[in-house]
Structure 1
Amino acid sequence: MTIWKVEDCVLNDRLRYELQLMGKWVIVTPIVLVIFMSMSPFVLRMTNVKTMTLLIASLEMFLPLLAGIIVATICMHDSAIELQLTLPTLYRRTIWRRIGLVTFWTAIISCLLSIVVYSLNPLRQPQEVQSWSVGARIILGQLTWLAPLVWMIALSLVLSLVFRSRVASVSVLGALWVGENIVYGLFLSTNWLRPIFIFATTLTPLTLLTLNFWLSNRLWLLGIALLLLIIAWWRLYSVERLLPASGSGEE
């Protein structure tokens, strides 16, 4: 019991230390985003945009993107990374710990928000489940944010390991996000593009929002994310790949 208590204290201290290193903006920014998206219809007087629609967009579109940007910013950017790579504690554990903290905090916010959204407004769920009980709809609704969140974080991590540059990683991530927003009709109409369409809840017309399409899309995103995490796990075993690229433009 004593050993377990010591390990728990060390883990708690380590997590608090990682939070201090990442900064309060990692914790505060997702909350500010949700508040802004909730209040924007009233502030801007957008009578044609419903608050619930913006909240669903926050779950599927904005919170996963924000988490991906945070991962790309904090994982491969460390002023003492060369020193940490020489320590007994492997730096890849630090990276996974930071990703876990970002994912866990974003998941808590998304889960609480989705409970409110899907208990009050089930219209953006697949047609087949709208007659289900509130509890069943809430459970299934977690895939709205879970699949794109894990996909964005996994892709962001791989991009960070490949480019070793925050600017390049965030640029590619943002380009993919904007591209799917602009040509979402192409993703909906092309079978082989549907598995990587991360906005299947928000941008799919209600007439096309069926359980088979939506659920298969969510499962494909989770599967691709798992594959990306395996690639990231493999690349993290190479110390040379963790060193900042020279001339990458990082400061």
Structure 2
Amino acid sequence: MRPIDLWRYEVRRAGWTALLTPPVATAALVLIALLDGGADTDRNLVAALEMALPLAAGVGAASLVGRDPAVELQLTVPTAYRSTLLRRLAVTFGWAALLAVLLVAGLLATGWWPESRGVLSGQLIWLAPTLWLAGLGFLGGAAFRSPAAAGGLVATVWIVDQVFAGLQEHYWFRLVYLFATTRGAVPEDWTANRVTLVTTALALGVLGWVLLGRSERLLRGEAE
């Protein structure tokens, strides 16, 4: 199979949840921000970048494990099944990243990009939380072998960060807080927060990769 055909197939297998959720969620929040108007329009648009897009990417990543029929057959082919899932994760994240770049371009063109963030370093506004929630969704899928359970985990963490933003009085919570740009309590900790999120996101992805290497877990999940 040619590489282009392979990736085209993986895009189809990623599923509608992974492909539709990011644009729908982001467009909804952008529309709300524009209709609301007022002095906080720029902040609300950045919130779409930092809040809506990462949640959608995380739910999409959580939907990747447990969707394939006859997993036992895929485990017999030369290409490792977890490598297949990793390609689908790349498709999910790449699609969310493309949407993020388009939204960033729109914010720059309209002058709504936050002046406190440079164009390059400012990409961490969406990149850090998107990587983190996608890594969590991937790990949740590998651990639970259930898109619903893994998606619920992602949504729960997202809601906890929304509801308990006051926990930022603790330094450790500020380091892993997902919305440090729009709701951060200590702006000086922003860079440390973004670096911590990216680093721990990679760790979550590695843990998911390790769990997916245990074929008996996937087969047991298929049987259930």
TM-score, normalising length from structure 2? 0.89
AA aligned to 1:214 is W
Structure 2 residue ranges without an equivalent (≥5): none
1:189 is aligned to 2:188? no
Give 1:177's aligned residue.
Answer: 158
Structure 1 segments (4+ residues) deviating >4 Å = none
Q: Secondary structure at the match of 1:98?
A: helix
Q: Distance in 1 between matches of 2:129 and 2:216?
A: 30
- For residues 42-57 of structure 1, what are the structure 2 equivalents within 5 Å? 43=35, 46-48=36-38, 50-57=40-47
Q: Give 1:19's match in structure 2, choosing from 6, 11, 14.
A: 11
Corresponding residue for residue 196 of structure 2:
220
Alpha-carbon distance in 1 for matches of 2:151, 2:86: 19
Residue 237 of structure 1, CA deviation: 1.8
Distance in 2 between residues matched to 1:30 and 1:77, nearest whole Å: 19
Q: Residue 130 of structure 2 aligns with which residue?
A: 149
**Structure 1 stretch displaced more, 223-232 or 237-246:** 237-246
User: Does 2:180 correspond to 1:200?
Assistant: yes
Of 140, 147, 157 in structure 1, the residue corresponding to residue 121 of structure 2 is 140
Distance of aligned partners of 1:166 and 1:23 in 2 relative to their CA distance in 1, 3 Å threshold:
closer
Q: Which residue of 2 aligns with 1:97?
A: 87
Q: Does 1:209 align with 2:182?
A: no
Q: Between Structure 1 and Structure 2, which shows a larger proportion of helix residues?
A: 2
Paired position in structure 1 for 2:217: 241
SS at match of 1:74: coil
* Equivalent residue letter for 1:218: R
Cα gap change, 1:219 to 1:169, in 2 (>3 Å):
same
Q: 1:144 to 1:214 in 2, by over 3 A?
A: same
2:148 aligned with 1:167:
yes
Change (3 A) 1:236 1:147: same
Structure 2 vs 1, CA of residues 244 and 144 (structure 1 numbering), >3 Å: closer, same or farther?
farther
Q: 1:22 to 1:122 in 2, by over 3 A?
A: closer
Q: Please name the residue that 1:66 is paired with.
A: 56
Structure 2 vs 1, CA of residues 200 and 83 (structure 1 numbering), >3 Å: closer, same or farther? same
Indicate the residue corresponding to 2:112 in structure 1: 121
Q: Please list, as runs of the form range in 1=range in 2, the aligned pairs for 1:77-96 lying within 5 A after superposition.
A: 77-96=67-86
Tell me how far apart the structure 1 counterparts of residues 220 and 8 of structure 2 sit (CA, whole Å). 25
Contact 2:18–2:92, Cα closer than 8 Å, also in 1:
yes
CA distance in 1, matches of 2:78, 2:124: 38
- Tell me the TM-score normalized by structure 1: 0.80
Give me the whole-angstrom Cα distance separating, in 2, the residues matched to 1:202 and 1:234: 34
Greater Cα radius of gyration, structure 1 or 2 = 1
Number of residue pairs the alignment of both structures matches: 223
Q: Partner amino acid for 2:197? A: L
Distance 1:236-1:24 versus aligned 2 partners, 3 A rule: closer
CA RMSD of aligned residues (A): 2.3
SS in 1 for 2:180: coil
Identity of aligned residues (%): 33
Structure 1 residues 112 and 42: alpha-carbon distance in aligned structure 2, compared to 1, 3 A threshold: closer
CA distance in 2 between counterparts of 1:163 and 1:23 reads 19
